């Protein structure tokens, strides 16, 4: 562990604790690599584990072409989901626990078998999936004004905040993941719609990407873990009092209030 | 004189379509003060001309049904135009690029109407009850105006940019679906260009048909049994080029394809 990694991890942890954003790491240090950034992320995850938190899953970010173009990258990124990030369906997120939250609708996977990369295919993911459920992810950035580059968001646990699972656990047989429609509403008004294919063409392909990327760090996806497979539409800013609902074809709905 | 000017504008737009060339928008020079109401009178003349040429109306089509487009045009209501028989392309068929000006494609859900629907006061639920079947479609829009540059009255006069339609070939009963949650992808040469769900159309595609019934009622008209109605785009409009293989996939409704040839 270099002192640089530890120092950036400290800064991000402090930003989360004080809810005061920091300048982009990529601006402070243009030599920071993506692998450095994952080391920073892992450093902070290890600290959380030492505090007694548990890893309950993973999230995949930057899965839309629009986001990848915006950040100038051609692959997604991932972060860790911890038990302290879970919000019940229909539950509340205290705005005071966040810095600059946004909400996205996603399809969550729960696996029945471990998936160890490399060479995991989309079909492997479908076979290893116990069920899928609709999810809302509350993303948040510890970087001021969301001025993120790839390394910034990776170091910041892929801009994770909280997540909500809802609807009904649904077997993937007879469902075309690419074409699952989703309607996202804020305070009762439709703000956008999306389709499974918004996540790299197919949400299961995102999970396959994750399994393969994790093998670079000698990590596997575990049975029972929750995997947020990537946003089906653009993230919407949340303010105190806002109520978000996402309705999914086949899967039901999920909601959260701030 | 009044209908004469509408007829002249209609002729101007029909000529642009027939000669496959873009023209200056009507409100630029021809009639800068054209209102939306007058624009529908122009459209009526345009429709009459086509009927006199022996064309047949397949059904109405809805335009400007997305929030984004309504905001962009500063309107509260969608617009409508008419699809004619000569505009239809077989599913899997070919669209000659040289027949068109600057075509774009959108993915839509189509309603096949089982009973007359007469406004005002019609809601989406009533539309569904009177819908015999739904099917997927790709609509090719092709504004006759330079660079798709137009105001609301211009696009209404121009038959809501209607140009070509490819219908899917499987009819489904609407009861099987929550149409607002039907997802669709629009791909060109295997690459997804845009996507959306039914709710992109005024919250629910049936709402667009209900609004049509209510708009027609103001003129003493109604939606008729047998009308085949394009309810509005689930996706954005994507530019077409020669050689494009276009595919629209709709959850549970099937796939619609065509190829753009020279």
Q: Which of A190, A196, A201 lies closest to B183 in CB terms?
A: A196
List CB contacts of B239: < 8 A, sequence separation 6 or more.
B102, B103, B104
Domain A3-257 has CATH 3.10.350.10: no
Token pair in block for residue A127 = 């076979």
Residue B183's pLDDT is: 97
Residue found under tokens 């669209």 = B95
Is A198 in CB contact (< 8 Å) with chain B? yes
- DSSP code of residue B98: G
pLDDT tens for each residue of A117-143? 999 999 999 999 999 999 999 999 999
Host H or E run for residue A65? helix A65-71
Tell me the torsion sign for CA atoms B240, B244, B250, B256: positive
Cβ-based contacts of B188 with chain A (< 8 Å): none
Contact assignment for B181 to A196 by CB distance below 8 Å = no
Report, in angstroms and rounded to the nearest whole number, the Rg of chain A calculated over CA atoms: 17
10 Å CB burial of residue A234 (0-12, 13-18, 19+) is: middle
The CA distance from A140 to A225, in Å, is: 22
Residue A1's pLDDT is: 60
Per-residue pLDDT of chain A (258 residues; tens, 9 = 90+): 688 999 999 999 999 999 999 999 999 998 999 999 999 999 999 999 999 999 999 999 999 988 898 889 988 999 999 999 999 999 999 999 999 999 999 999 999 999 999 999 999 999 999 999 999 999 999 999 999 999 999 999 999 999 999 999 999 998 999 999 999 999 999 999 999 999 999 999 999 999 999 999 899 999 999 999 999 999 999 999 999 999 999 999 999 999
Question: Is the separation of the CB atoms in A58 and A224 below 8 Å?
Answer: no
Q: Is the peptide bond before A118 cis (omega within 30 degrees of 0)?
A: yes
Is A69 in CB contact (< 8 Å) with chain B? no
Contact assignment for A183 to B195 by CB distance below 8 Å = no
Neighbours of B99 (CB within 10 A): 14
Report the candidate in A101, A117, A121, A110 with the shortest Cα–Cα distance to residue A81.
A110
Question: Is the separation of the CB atoms in B188 and B106 below 8 Å?
Answer: no
Q: Is A25 helix (H, G, I), strand (E, B) or coil?
A: helix
Q: What is the residue-wise DSSP string for A178-203?
A: GGBEEEEEETTEEEEEEEGGGTTT-H
10 Å CB burial of residue A10 (0-12, 13-18, 19+) is: middle
Token pair in block for residue A219 = 């990590």
Cβ-based contacts of A246 with chain B (< 8 Å): none
Reading across the β-sheet that carries A189-195, which strands appear in turn?
Answer: A189-195, A181-186, A243-248, A252-257
Q: Is B27 helix (H, G, I), strand (E, B) or coil?
A: coil
Q: Where are the domains of chain A?
A: 3-257
Q: What is the mean pLDDT of each run of 10 residues along chain B (262 residues)?
A: 87 97 96 96 97 96 92 88 97 96 97 97 97 98 95 97 96 95 97 96 97 96 96 96 98 97 96
Token pair in block for residue A100 = 């600059």
Cβ-based contacts of A247 with chain B (< 8 Å): 180-181
pLDDT tens for each residue of B29-57? 999 999 999 999 999 999 999 999 999 99
Q: Which of B183, B232, B256 is best to mutate for the A interface (most A CBs within 10 A)?
A: B183
The CA distance from B217 to A86, in Å, is: 51
Cβ-based contacts of B196 with chain A (< 8 Å): 193-195
Tell me the torsion sign for CA atoms B233, B234, B237, B238: negative
Question: Is the separation of the CB atoms in A187 and A242 below 8 Å?
Answer: yes
Contact assignment for A198 to B195 by CB distance below 8 Å = yes
Cβ-based contacts of A180 with chain B (< 8 Å): 183, 251
The CA distance from A172 to A90, in Å, is: 24
Residue B67's pLDDT is: 85
Contact assignment for A179 to B250 by CB distance below 8 Å = yes
The CA distance from A219 to A209, in Å, is: 13
Ordered by where they begin, the domains of chain B are: 2-261 (3.90.850.10)
Q: Which of A179, A183, A197 lies closest to B199 in CB terms?
A: A183
Q: Which of B180, B197, B252 lies closest to A195 in CB terms?
A: B197
Phi and psi torsions of B8, nearest 5°: -60, -45
Report the candidate in B73, B249, B226 with the shortest Cα–Cα distance to residue B150.
B73
The CA distance from A61 to B54, in Å, is: 56
Q: Is the peptide bond before B120 cis (omega within 30 degrees of 0)?
A: yes
- DSSP code of residue A222: P
Is A194 in CB contact (< 8 Å) with chain B? yes
Residue A43's pLDDT is: 96
């Amino acid at each position: 562990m270099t002192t640089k990694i530890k120092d950036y991890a400290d800064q991000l942890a402090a930003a989360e604790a004080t809810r005061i954003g920091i300048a982009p790491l990529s601006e402070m240090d243009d030599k920071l690599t993506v692998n450095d950034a994952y080391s920073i992320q892992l450093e902070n995850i290890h600290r959380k584990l030492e505090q007694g938190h548990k890893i309950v899953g993973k999230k995949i970010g930057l899965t839309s072409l629009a986001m990848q173009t915006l950040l100038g990258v051609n692959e997604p990124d991932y972060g860790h989901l911890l038990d302290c990030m879970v919000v019940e369906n229909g539950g509340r997120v205290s705005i005071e626990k966040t810095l600059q939250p946004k909400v996205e609708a996603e399809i969550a996977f729960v696996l029945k078998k471990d998936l160890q990369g490399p060479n995991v295919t989309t079909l492997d993911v479908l076979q290893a999936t116990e069920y899928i459920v609709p999810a809302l992810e509350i993303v948040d950035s510890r970087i001021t004004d969301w001025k993120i580059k790839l390394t910034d968001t990776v170091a910041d646990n892929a801009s994770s905040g909280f997540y909500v699972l809802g609807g009904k656990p649904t077997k993937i047989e007879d469902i075309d993941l690419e074409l699952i429609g989703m309607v996202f509403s804020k305070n009762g008004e439709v703000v956008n719609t999306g389709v499974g294919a918004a996540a790299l063409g197919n949400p299961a392909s995102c999970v396959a990407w994750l399994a393969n990327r994790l093998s670079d760090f000698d990590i596997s996806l575990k049975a029972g873990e929750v995997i947020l497979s990537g946003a089906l539409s653009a993230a919407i800013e949340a303010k105190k009092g806002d109520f978000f609902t996402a309705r999914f074809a086949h899967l039901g709905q999920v909601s959260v209030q701030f | 004189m009044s209908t004469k000017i509408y007829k002249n504008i209609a002729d101007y737009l029909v000529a642009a379509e027939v000669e496959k060339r873009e023209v200056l928008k009507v409100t630029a020079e021809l009639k800068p003060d054209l209102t939306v109401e007058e624009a529908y009178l122009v459209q009526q003349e345009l429709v009459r001309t086509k009927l006199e040429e022996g064309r047949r109306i397949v059904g109405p089509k809805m335009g400007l049904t997305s929030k984004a487009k309504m905001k962009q045009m500063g309107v509260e209501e969608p617009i409508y135009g008419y699809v004619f028989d000569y505009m239809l392309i077989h599913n899997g068929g070919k669209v000659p690029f040289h027949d068109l000006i600057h075509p774009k494609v959108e993915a839509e859900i189509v309603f096949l109407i089982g009973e007359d629907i007469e406004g005002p006061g019609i809601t989406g639920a009533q539309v569904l009850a009177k819908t015999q079947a739904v099917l997927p479609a790709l609509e090719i829009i092709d504004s006759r105006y330079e660079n798709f540059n137009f105001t609301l009255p211009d696009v209404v006069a121009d038959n809501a940019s209607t140009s070509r339609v490819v219908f899917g070939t499987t009819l489904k009963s609407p009861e099987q679906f929550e149409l607002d949650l039907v997802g669709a992808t629009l791909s060109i040469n295997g690459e997804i260009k845009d996507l959306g769900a039914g709710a992109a159309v005024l919250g629910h595609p049936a709402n667009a048909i209900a609004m049509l019934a209510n708009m027609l009622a103001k003129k003493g008209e109604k939606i008729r049994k047998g009308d085949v109605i394009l309810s509005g785009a689930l996706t954005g409009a994507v530019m077409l080029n020669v050689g494009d293989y276009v595919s629209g996939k709709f959850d549970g409704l099937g796939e619609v394809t065509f190829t753009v040839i020279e």
